[in-house]
Structure 1
């Protein structure tokens, strides 16, 4: 049977889960799920009318960690306000900004962010959402108001989403009372479970996944964590679970003072950590913690541009991989919104620490960009809880096509084009188009809503800044 031109794409070169392949025909069904990936196809009569990718074909990258509202103040905290500026002083800026956002502004910010993501090679996002209440810290009449704004933004932009409402209850280890600046974040465990029930139909209607994000060990007490996980298991047994962990050395010190254990150590001994979990950052671990965490099958959520921007430190990726650890990429605070840029920063951070090169390549994939892309795809899909892990039957047709005519890529072999895209180009400029569930969302590097969404974003940001 001849391929349906509306549900197929031919590429001279494509990065499949097993590596690069020539003359690849990808087909999908009406739901946007890949039904076949044929290699060695020709461009002869059977492919007449089938669209042909103008460059190498990749699976779209999942972005496994996003706080959408923070995009609106990216770049606005780059000045010193303390004797020693740090994550903790940056957090005060974030609190002031978060205090001013309306639901309409959040939706505008998120819509523009998701458009940016699609233009930069991300086709799915895990939204770690902890802004729940109104500007006075009071619940909205509909407690799902801000969550629904994010779902609408994803639907408008056309990006896949895993929505992770964050459980946030205290300001520090041992159940310290929340600070006034955290009033918009606070929910009881029962209220959080009710929110998930409320959101489930809306998420299902647009093909979104729904999970839970215990914000951090400092923000959720042990009893609450246990109750939330039990309640989640009853509601959505396979739901993804994301948590900030061991991001800052002060967090490690505070956890030791509270429990006598380091954060990752405590979590592994007191929670049922498994492949549903994403350990976001996990920057400061001992060698034993790296080994133990990797054994659980959990994904490490690495956010290189944010970790650099906030001065967090550098995750030991070679050690994690030595133990068979899985990982994915997130843009977190969105100081950078570019999948290739995150890959570059991840590899460069490892080089700076170890004074070696091409540390994330391996025997199966000696090309560093190809190796990192495949690893991040698999880990990101696992963390998202959605079938978006690569170009294979059963996976969603989330696609990225590189621009083979871009000067940085032109006349190179396909695997070298990907390397040039990551390490030798303006990065997003090397992308021709992105597709989500078989629907083209960007063409020639630009989303149809680019100008409209940008204007709404700028207006929202200006109003927020004027209100501070």
Structure 2
């Protein structure tokens, strides 16, 4: 195959004399776009042309594929199963622990393959998996080192998605509280033991998987799950060349406990130990003070919003616009996978802002698409689909412009009309991996999920 021919595509163009552009590039929809590819990357672009012999034809409007900056793959078990009675957070939490207790490396590989396949078919080409189910129930290590982690890596390879495996430090059940029996398999002896295990995992993954497909990052579960002394160790010893993630200020109770224990908010505690930086991705960041917003913005940290999960769990609406204005980069994740759909996450972010502020247009369609794609750059250890430009990885999603949802929409505004059901083709590393709702090699994600979920109560 010599390249891809796109009926239409979102490409970067020079701003020229457009008012307010300052000559900067701006996205535009061009017709008849041909992408030459070499070793999984775009090596040439032509517009207004016809396909050449051997080209793969992509109908509809082609965009860079989306990046999922926060995922817990096993939470997919919970979709539609935690709403009995009034379905409060504690009902969800109890079911989550039961599901975690049932995981084995074999079951997790099968489940994660199905979940990652659902992501791919929906338009994602990369995912940051916030992984903390490390050991057997009771905290007993598996005989095979990194058995659970390698199961996730194999699942990513099978589905074709680019995986950033975020190995998570989880030492406490709450500030001043030991891990509960349900949490024992998440833990390590201390931060140094985790750092040793992380180093071993990085070496093992580097030996066994292509670096552009599987990479390793680090995560701190939260200030509830990582005591201050461990934060000091991480700040001093964590290698500087990998991304770092943390759940931050997801609920008011977390903030209150942190203030009572340490005299500062979670963001303030991270700042105290030099952990706020451009490599940090703060997940949720829902309940922040103005000073927290300033700290995160001044550090240039990425803030990963998960709007459908935050709505599902009634966590609240985070200050995304204020964070962006302060200097943070906004990225999007699907977290517990109540929905796996980059387009729905985009507009749910904006709809939350509108509901909280009483104003429309808090984020432009271009800003929302940025959040769903290159906003995740610092969150990932693998490449991100940026603009359709020479040198970028050839990760694409084609969207039907004439579905019952998108018909009549301006393609640049698909964030307010499209859904994953409108994604017709997905390309990762210049390979067509999904078409018309099915994975090219694995079939429909619904069938895979139904089969995998049979193994969980």
TM-score, structure 1 normalization: 0.88
1:341 aligns with 2:344: yes
Deviation at 1:335, TM superposition (A): 0.8
Residue 87 of structure 1 is matched in structure 2 by 89
Q: Runs in 1 of length 4+ with deviation above 4 angstroms?
A: 449-456
Counterparts in 2 of 1:452 and 1:25: CA distance versus 1, 3 Å: closer
Residue 401 of structure 1 is matched in structure 2 by 398
1:372 aligns with 2:368: yes
Residue 299 of structure 2 is matched in structure 1 by 296
Deviations 1:306-351 (A, max 9, x none): 1111111101122122223201110001111111111121111111
Separation in 2, partners of 1:379, 1:251: 26
Residue 233 of structure 2 is matched in structure 1 by 227
Residue 28 of structure 1 is matched in structure 2 by 37
Residue 101 of structure 2 is matched in structure 1 by 99
Query: Contact between 1:244 and 1:279, CA under 8 Å: does it hold in 2?
Result: yes
Residue 199 of structure 2 is matched in structure 1 by 197
Separation in 2, partners of 1:89, 1:377: 33
Deviations 1:272-316 (A, max 9, x none): 321111000011111221122111111001000111111111011
1:385 aligns with 2:370: no
SS in 1 for 2:238: helix
1:210 aligns with 2:216: yes
Separation in 1, partners of 2:230, 2:45: 46
Deviation at 1:423, TM superposition (A): 2.7
Match of 2:126 among 118, 124, 128: 124
Query: Contact between 1:63 and 1:125, CA under 8 Å: does it hold in 2?
Result: yes
Separation in 2, partners of 1:255, 1:89: 24
1:417 aligns with 2:411: yes
Deviation at 1:224, TM superposition (A): 1.6
Residue 364 of structure 1 is matched in structure 2 by none
Separation in 2, partners of 1:210, 1:321: 27
- The correspondence of residues 129-208 of structure 1 with structure 2, limited to 5 A, is 129-174=131-176, 176-188=177-189, 189-204=191-206, 205-207=209-211, 208=214
Query: Contact between 1:10 and 1:50, CA under 8 Å: does it hold in 2?
Result: no
Deviation at 1:231, TM superposition (A): 3.2
Query: Contact between 1:307 and 1:314, CA under 8 Å: does it hold in 2?
Result: yes
Counterparts in 2 of 1:44 and 1:111: CA distance versus 1, 3 Å: closer
Deviation at 1:44, TM superposition (A): 4.6
CA RMSD of aligned residues (A): 2.2
Q: Unaligned 5+ residue runs, structure 1?
A: 362-367
Separation in 2, partners of 1:380, 1:102: 30
Deviation at 1:108, TM superposition (A): 1.2
Residue-pair matches, total = 438
Q: Unaligned 5+ residue runs, structure 2?
A: 13-24
Deviation at 1:395, TM superposition (A): 2.4
Greater strand share, structure number? 2
1:62 aligns with 2:67: yes
Query: Contact between 1:54 and 1:404, CA under 8 Å: does it hold in 2?
Result: no
Separation in 1, partners of 2:428, 2:360: 34
Separation in 2, partners of 1:386, 1:97: 29
Residue 434 of structure 1 is matched in structure 2 by 426
